[in-house]
């Protein structure tokens, strides 16, 4: 079961209800769902609990997100009324605060129904058993870092790509030398979110829908900017390590400048913009009228389920191929890299990106080139077949129109 870090300080009332819904699902309760979010009727979550005798018992849950505050007797009375109104026999109040003595006493003396009370300590204990690490404030949350690989591991992974280069007589491994690395860690929030919204016409016909479940994205902990989707997808499922491992490596750690609450609000606004789109639809069968509607989810349609503080390592790997230096910027996780910048992928002449299996490395200077039908910036020596770049190739004209290209060593022999 995947572990989740939850900071209660950053949750609003609706998000706390979502957290409790997920908690009860993980605890094995059945048919857990949110009650309609209309006028407060004393019930936030509805669920079925399997009793020891294997009977299904409906339960009404009231959620109170009042961190550090006292929940009094009126809340219990209100739940009691809801239980009677909806004809069930069991209720539950779950809170991030604590219950007054009067509230506890009232819950005990009720005879006709059963009401359970779950305070902050109970909430943490229940969460711990099903994979939630629950903290009260952001200051309590231990920062983590995505896995920091050994530089030698990164070099080994990256060489899978360089080893595919075309090179003769030496192999790419013989030519390319790993010089060293730099690593920076940046503060970020790993957010898990869901979006659920259907768009219908005035006649009830659905024209667009947005259903996103448990998606993840990264937001910069200093300015709130969202990372590119491919970065969030790549790092989202990566294992994390305690921050002390980063401190042991003596990597400078920039501070978080934005709170979790600020990140949540900013991310919701950005997600609204990302998922807003104009939709064109027709009035109906046989009716040629054309309409356009801008479909935009509201902030209530977007649920930020979890927000975790995490440091994101970004690597720069430095290489030298004979006389030419190269730099590679990557995000890394065990056994895989996400390339951000790769000097090896561009032709040294035209700067065009070249597919890994078509890169040709010069065995004289180490420059990268490519050889296509109409454009050739790398060649093979006509005599010894050495791979050479345009700068290192020497042309020799034959029969007025034909050009032969040789490496320097073979050209000297021909002149002799």
346-415 under CATH 3.10.20, yes or no: no
Tokens 């010089």 -> residue: 179
Query: How far apart are alpha carbons 209 and 22 in whole angstroms?
Result: 23
Residue by residue, DSSP assigns 4-64 as EEEEGGG--HHHHHHHHHHHHHHTT-EEEEEPP-SS--S-SEEEEEE-TTS-EEEEEEEEE
- Band of the pLDDT at 202, cuts 50, 70, 90? confident
What top-level class would CATH report for the domain 4-135?
Answer: alpha beta
262 contacts: CB under 8 Å, gap ≥ 6: 224
Q: What is the DSSP letter of 345?
A: G
What pLDDT sits at residue 1? 59
Number of Cα atoms under 13 Å in the Cβ half of residue 368: 25
Q: How many CB atoms lie within 10 A of CB 67?
A: 14
pLDDT digits (tens, 9 = 90+) for 345-359: 999 999 999 988 899
pLDDT digits (tens, 9 = 90+) for 276-326: 999 998 877 777 788 899 999 999 899 888 888 999 999 999 999 999 999
Q: Where in the chain is the domain with CATH 3.40.1350.10?
A: 4-135
What pLDDT sits at residue 400? 65
Q: Give strand pairing partners of 63.
A: 94
What pLDDT sits at residue 74? 93
Distance, C-alpha 44 to centroid of its chain: 30
CA distances from 374 to 157, 346, 353 (A): 33, 18, 16
Question: Has residue 62 got a pLDDT over 70?
Answer: yes
What pLDDT sits at residue 138? 79
**Nearest by Cα to 193 from 275, 121, 135, 130:** 275
What pLDDT sits at residue 236? 87
Query: How far apart are alpha carbons 67 and 62 in whole angstroms?
Result: 15
Q: Where in the chain is the domain with CATH 3.30.40?
A: 346-415
Q: What is the DSSP letter of 356?
A: G
Tokens (6 digits) for 375: 């454009």
Distance, C-alpha 293 to centroid of its chain: 31
Q: What pTM does this model have?
A: 0.78
Contact 382, 376 (CB under 8 A): no
Contact 116, 83 (CB under 8 A): no
Contact 210, 297 (CB under 8 A): yes
pLDDT digits (tens, 9 = 90+) for 153-189: 999 999 999 999 999 999 999 999 999 999 999 999 9
Give the rounded percent of residues in the chain with a pLDDT score beyond 90: 68
Tokens (6 digits) for 24: 């009860």
Per DSSP, which regions of 65-205 are E strands? 70-71, 90-95, 98-99, 114-118, 132-135, 144-146, 176-200
pLDDT digits (tens, 9 = 90+) for 216-261: 999 999 999 999 999 999 998 888 888 877 777 788 889 999 988 8
What pLDDT sits at residue 239? 83
Q: What mean pLDDT value characterizes the chain?
A: 91
Query: How far apart are alpha carbons 6 and 134 in whole angstroms?
Result: 5
Contact 163, 275 (CB under 8 A): no
């Amino acid at each position: 079961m995947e572990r989740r870090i939850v900071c209660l300080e950053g949750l609003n009332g609706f998000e706390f209800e979502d957290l409790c819904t997920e908690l009860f699902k993980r605890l094995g309760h059945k048919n857990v769902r949110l009650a309609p979010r209309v006028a407060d009727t004393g019930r936030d979550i509805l669920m079925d609990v399997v009793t020891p005798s294997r009977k299904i018992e409906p339960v009404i849950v009231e959620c109170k997100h009042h961190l550090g505050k006292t929940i009094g007797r009126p809340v219990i009375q209100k739940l009691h009324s809801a239980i009677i109104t909806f004809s069930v026999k069991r209720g539950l109040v779950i809170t991030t605060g604590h219950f007054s003595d009067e509230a506890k006493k009232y819950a005990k003396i009720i005879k006709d129904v059963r009401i359970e009370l779950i305070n902050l300590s109970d909430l943490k204990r229940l969460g711990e058993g099903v994979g939630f690490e629950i903290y009260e404030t952001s200051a309590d949350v231990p920062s983590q870092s995505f896995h920091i690989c050994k530089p030698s591991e990164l070099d080994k992974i990256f060489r899978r790509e360089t080893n595919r280069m075309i090179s003769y007589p030496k192999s790419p491994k013989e030519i390319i030398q790993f010089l060293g690395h730099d690593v920076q860690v940046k503060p970020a929030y790993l957010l898990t979110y869901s979006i659920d919204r259907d768009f219908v016409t005035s006649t009830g016909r659905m024209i667009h829908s947005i259903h996103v479940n448990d998606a993840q994205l990264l937001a910069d902990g200093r300015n709130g900017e969202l990372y590119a989707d491919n970065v969030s997808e790549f790092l989202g499922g990566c294992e994390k390590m305690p921050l002390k491992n980063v401190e042991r490596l003596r990597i400078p750690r920039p501070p978080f400048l934005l709170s979790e609450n600020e990140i949540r609000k900013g991310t919701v606004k950005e997600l609204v913009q990302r998922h807003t789109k104009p939709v064109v639809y027709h009035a109906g069968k046989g009716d040629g009228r054309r309409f356009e509607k801008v479909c935009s989810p509201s902030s209530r349609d977007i649920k930020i389920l979890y927000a975790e503080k995490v440091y994101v390592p970004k690597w720069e790997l430095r290489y030298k191929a004979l006389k030419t230096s190269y730099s590679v910027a990557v995000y890394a996780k065990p056994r895989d890299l996400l390339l951000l910048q790769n000097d090896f992928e561009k032709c040294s002449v035209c700067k065009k990106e070249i597919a890994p299996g078509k890169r040709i490395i010069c065995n004289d200077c180490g420059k990268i080139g490519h050889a296509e039908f109409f454009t050739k910036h790398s060649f093979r020596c006509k005599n010894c077949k050495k791979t050479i770049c345009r700068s290192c190739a020497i042309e020799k004209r034959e029969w007025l129109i034909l050009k032969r290209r040789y490496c320097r060593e073979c050209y000297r022999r021909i002149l002799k």
